[in-house]
Amino acid sequence: MKLETLVIHAGQHPDPVSGAVMTPIVLSSTFAQDGPGNHKGYDYSRSGNPTRNTLEACAAALEGAEHGFAFSSGCGATTTILHTLRPGDHVVCGDDVYGGTFRILDKVMKPMGLAATFVDMTDLARLEAAFRPETKLVWLETPSNPMLKVFDIEAVCALARARNVPVVVDNTFATPFAQQPLKLGATAVVHSTTKYLNGHSDVVGGLVMSSDAAFSERLRFLQNAIGAVPSPFDCFLVLRGLKTLAVRVQRHSENAMVLARWLEAHPDVARVYYPGLESHPQHAVVKKQMRVPGGMISFVLKAGGDGDTAARSQRFLSALKVFTCAESLGGVESLIELPAVMTHASIPAEIRAQLGIDDGLIRISVGIESVDDLRDDLSAAFETSRGA
């Protein structure tokens, strides 16, 4: 079945007791056993819970995976995956990776003996040079955040497979509607469901999907042993949000395409980063591996009358009425932010400069409102932010 159908039906059946069409929220932490050790598949809700298992089954189907694992956050999922490795192992990771992933590798795992090298994977030669004999994992995030670089998942997986190294793809920005990394050779996919999968900015959660038997068995053990599991209520909300994933992502992407083209032609805009534009440096890879280019755009304004781009960006964000100035992304509402001051403030200024994250760079998560209202809002803020 197609994704549009799977998001609504996969893993879900009317409740056998009541006939309830929607998945019940089973809050019970423990389950009655007929006799010691003789239970109906559930004994304790950290180990397994009916609402969570339904979400995991649905999530697995969306990525074409055998197994799904739900976590309390995207970072909880990432941390649990990294516990499949051992001290002395080495990870090759994209250089423009989610800030929290960088922080886990640099501040949590490094002191525990796990080494990481951060490379720009648009250059496959640099990726090849980063492999060491002790490299045990490649961590790939595409499109990247906030520069929206796109990496060739199939090419990266081929290089890793030749060295017997598994690849984990963070598919949060693209969603399984836009790209399915397991079909391109990845061992596992990780999502922050906080973003597009839930899609309504009211859950923090994570998911991992994989068809690799050994990896999945280890992850199932670690999910229970480490215990970064989501509440049944949050699992219900993600299941509910997922039902509209296909229509939402389609609309996010259509709106973003309209705004990106309009921004690119606007006299007040210096640069636009959007995978759907022909001017995007990896546009050919985008066309090869993505069904739609997604709802995230980054851009740089031209300086206002005072010659200060960052100051104009601040005025621009404060002038908007429909866009909300906030971190996060992937909800139905349009959000806007300054990465250097907000989401990426924890990255040292010199690394931000290397990555191209100027102090005035603006990132938008395009919502599913009327694109006319979004464009009018941006247009009015261009006027008022110009300055003397």
Q: Does 145 bind ligand PLP (CB under 6 A)?
A: yes
**Which residue lies nearer to ligand PLP by CB, 180 or 192?**
192
Note if 46 is an active site residue: yes
**Which residue lies nearer to ligand PLP by CB, 49 or 192?**
192
Q: Does 206 bind ligand PLP (CB under 6 A)?
A: yes
Cα–Cα distance for residue pair 197/239, rounded to 1 Å: 9
Cα–Cα distance for residue pair 157/43, rounded to 1 Å: 38
Place of tokens 């309504």: 200
Other beta carbons less than 10 A from residue 339's beta carbon: 23
Exposure b/e, 262-293, CB count within 10 A at least 16 = b: bbbebebbeebbbbbbeebebbebbeebbbbb
Binding test (CB under 6 A) with ligand PLP, winner from 39, 100, 115, 308: 100
Out of 52, 149, 195, 352, the active site residue is 195
Binding test (CB under 6 A) with ligand PLP, winner from 142, 192, 282, 298: 192
Q: Does 201 bind ligand PLP (CB under 6 A)?
A: no
Helix, strand, coil percentages (3-state) for the chain, rounded to 5, are 40, 15, 45
- Provide CB contacts within 8 A for 134, sequence distance 6+: 88, 89, 90, 115
Q: Does 98 bind ligand PLP (CB under 6 A)?
A: yes
Q: Does 151 bind ligand PLP (CB under 6 A)?
A: no
Q: Does 195 bind ligand PLP (CB under 6 A)?
A: yes
In angstroms, the Cα distances linking 103 to 107, 110, 130, 348 are 5, 10, 20, 12
Place of tokens 């990496």: 151
Binding test (CB under 6 A) with ligand PLP, winner from 49, 73, 122, 216: 73
Note if 42 is an active site residue: no
Out of 98, 196, 273, 274, the active site residue is 98
Q: Could you give the 3-state DSSP secondary structure of residue 273?
A: strand
Number of residues that bind ligand PLP (CB under 6 A): 16
**Which residue lies nearer to ligand PLP by CB, 11 or 143?**
143
Binding residues for ligand PLP, per CB under 6 A?
Answer: 73-75, 98, 100-101, 141, 145, 170, 172-173, 192, 194-195, 204, 206
Catalytically annotated residues: 46, 98, 170, 195
